[in-house]
Homo-oligomer: A and B are copies of this chain.
Amino acid sequence: MTSKIITAGYVVIGDEILSGRTKDKNIGFLASYLTDIGIDLSEVRVVPDLEEKIVEAVNALRAEYTYVFTSGGIGPTHDDITADAIAKAFGVSIDLDPRAYKLLEDHYGAENFTPARQRMARIPDGADLIENKVSIAPGFRIENVHVMAGVPAIMQAMVDAIAPTLETSQKMLSVTIEAALPESRIAQDLGEIQKNYPETSIGSYPQSKDGVFSTQVVVRSRSNDVLEQASEAVRAAVEAAKTKFL
């Protein structure tokens, strides 16, 4: 654990998310996972299966954040272009990797290790492999960029494999206060509490269920003491609001 803030960017690669055909499940998973281990997910980009868009997104995020994660586009088909795009982003060569080649050849058997399947052994020069316990074909890490599969079960197994290698910071703690009123009735008070507790981040999240509006107020801080004080102030404001204007 380090005293500096560790940040991450995430690039989701795939036409199927942008067309609406596949509903993404990986963003929410990675966001919760990183929060739990003390890494701040700071930005996500969803890009199509186009080399220039992948290169642009990866290069922008790897310059800005401690870590970058990508998912999608590392399978055996013609639309799986992520490994080549990452090699291009780093300006390194890419070829069949002997370690990945052996893993896959052992898995499929030499007679069934077709050229399409060999594509999954293409790894940029200088990268480390990321283990895939689900379906063998590995991901890879090059510098601060971690390249993973898009299928949620495989992506999640790869995140588990990567996690022990990551530097983390003091975990962001949070308290959620449920308020059975629309957020506009507590907005003024929340703004004042935020000013009084600058080391916290106070978020207000309106919800509507069967036409009734309620609000979740989430107080976040890396200090437990400050978190408790600010949360108590929010609870008091919510109670007070119930007897004030509508």
Contacts and interface: CB of A to CB of B under 8 A. Distances in A.
Number of copies: 2
Interface stretch (A84-92, A93-101, A184-192, A222-230): A184-192
Contacts of A102: none
Nearest to A28: B23
A30 B19 CA distance: 9
Nearest to A152: B208
Given A24-B27, A31-B20, A41-B19, A75 B206 contact: yes
A121 to B, nearest CB: 12
Interface stretch (A111-119, A140-148, A159-167): A111-119
Contacts of A12: 44
Given A79-B204, A187-B119, A46 B27 contact: yes
A238 B47 CA distance: 28
A24 B28 contact: yes
A21 B29 CA distance: 10
Contacts of A18: 31, 40-44
A13 to B, nearest CB: 11
A19 B48 contact: no
A172 interface: yes
Contacts of A207: 151
B20 A33 contact: yes
Nearest to A46: B44
A202 interface: yes
Contacts of A134: 208
B184 A76 contact: yes
What 7 A-B pairs are tightest by C-beta distance, nearest first?
A: A20-B32, A116-B187, A20-B31, A78-B191, A44-B46, A23-B28, A77-B204
9 contacts: A16-B218, A18-B44, A19-B35, A20-B41, A21-B176, A24-B27, A78-B190, A78-B194, A111-B245
Given A20-B31, A153-B208, 14 more contacts: A19-B41, A20-B32, A20-B34, A23-B28, A24-B24, A27-B46, A75-B206, A78-B191, A78-B194, A78-B204, A114-B184, A115-B188, A116-B184, A117-B187
